Chains A and B, each alone.
Chain A
Amino acid sequence: MSTQSISTASAGAFSVSGLMIVVASELAGAAFLREFLLAEDWRYVVALLAAFGVALVVMQSVPAIERRIENAFAAQRRAATIVAVLLVFAFPFALGGNTYALHLCVIAQLYAVLALALNFQLGSANIPNFATGASYGIGAYASALLALNFGVSFWLALPAAAIVATLSGFLLGLPSMRTRDSYLALVTIAFGVVVHQLLNNLEFTGGPNGLVGIPVPELFGHSFASPLVIFGVQLPSQANFYYLSAVLVAISILFAGRLHNSRVGLAWNALRADDLAARCQGINTTWYKVLAFAVDAFLAGFAGTIYAFYVGYISPDNFTFLVSVTIMTMVIAGGMDNILGVIVGAFLLTLLPEKLRAFSDYRILFFGVTVIAFLMIRPQGIFPQRLRRYGGH
């Protein structure tokens, strides 16, 4: 009897400390991000990076810590979500009206969506797609053209552009019915180049000058160009798009999580592991590959629309091959098929080049080195893929 009471007591103690672990990790993450965003001195940035690196090394060398944190989050999912939502909501208030930091947050969140989108292919199904940047661009142009030519509002342009992007994703996926993976990578590269060239040369997309004067969205009479007042606190106008892109990230996480833990996610994982064996389990692997392209493009289309209406001006150079490579780097560095990892990768690789402006000429070199370093040191990424859990295991 006494052992039983002890075990319930310790279970209770565990859940309390589990909650504490969850809250502490999320606060630490937010605080780290804030420091990183507000850091001016590149030496401080490097010091922060070093701290992050140390944390990673500790996690890798003492797996018990990692497991403890992981179990705490698994046991406290609801609390973890609520705390995360509160933190994301409160974050702009902690930036002290720094518009540049807020701007970086918007961009980082859009990249997080793009990385989550690509993760369906690269992470779940191991299909190399170098055209996510093109889908992003198609979404941006489709919505901007609708708004400029037909006066379609942002809220209608958003789903419309996502549909256009999805259709183009299907189109891009069609060759995967016939080509094998290494050739498929070439096909996607070609697709990206073709889209870029078309945007550059077509009359109605404005050629190299792109599209200007994309109207600012409004919601219930509130223009997204004006400052946002919450609880009497005035936030810069970027806060409008901060919250909008945060919602998109949340939706993407929801999509990603649900698909991962579904028959579709399992089918993608199966064809990633062994295409032939997957077919022999009844999986139509060509269809699932095309599907991964479509889902990728769908989310990228959303991100593109928000980007277009956020900056108000788009040109073909916003959607180059380099953008696709950047997104791919985020997925690889963050951790394939791990939602949190992909988001961390997106933030890190959006913010780092901005924070290390001194090296901005070496951006491509930087991405290349990052990918090679990760593939060599921690090939599974910052947060590696996890086995699925069923019923608390």
Chain B
Amino acid sequence: MYPETKKLSTRQPVNMDQSDLGFAKKIGEVAGTDLNACLTCMSCSGGCPMYTYMDYGPHGIMRLSVLGLKKEALSSSTIWRCVGCHSCAAVCPMAIDIAGVMDYLRGECLHEKVKPGDRPILEFHRAFLWSVRRHGRCHKVELMGHHKLLTLGSGPKAWFQDAYLGIRMILKGKLHLMPSRIMARGLSQVRKTVVGDWLHM
């Protein structure tokens, strides 16, 4: 995984033909935050731990959204590499809930069937939520195995090294082999809410 070249400052002219000017408003309604207040000050990207590995960075996503460049925003790697740490929201002078916007955009990416900008991360989330659907709770050991299967072949380092550390932690007993579960009625209740487009892919 190498640092990503930033796509926001390129010499290519912005193609506004397909721009959706209601996009920022729509995001604002769902995420409860006013995107038009964004100053493009870059404070968010400055504090973002994942900025190096993103194609736009949070400030870029805000700008794309305000310009209505939906396709670019939804297909970016930025929205998937965002870990939801809220460092951005903590520093944003306009108090924009940036991580909330990222949540909404990922949901839209799946909903509109746009090719996700980072598949292995999406598969991690899916493996996690499958574990929750099975037990009502997440089981880390099962999650690790499931995710490895879903992403086999995406980098030898991830596979060997992690299998090694994972096994070391299981041997040490740091991770329990048996899941913690909830009972049948509770499980069906949980399954009613752990739903979404991610389930039908």
The answer on A and B forming one complex is no
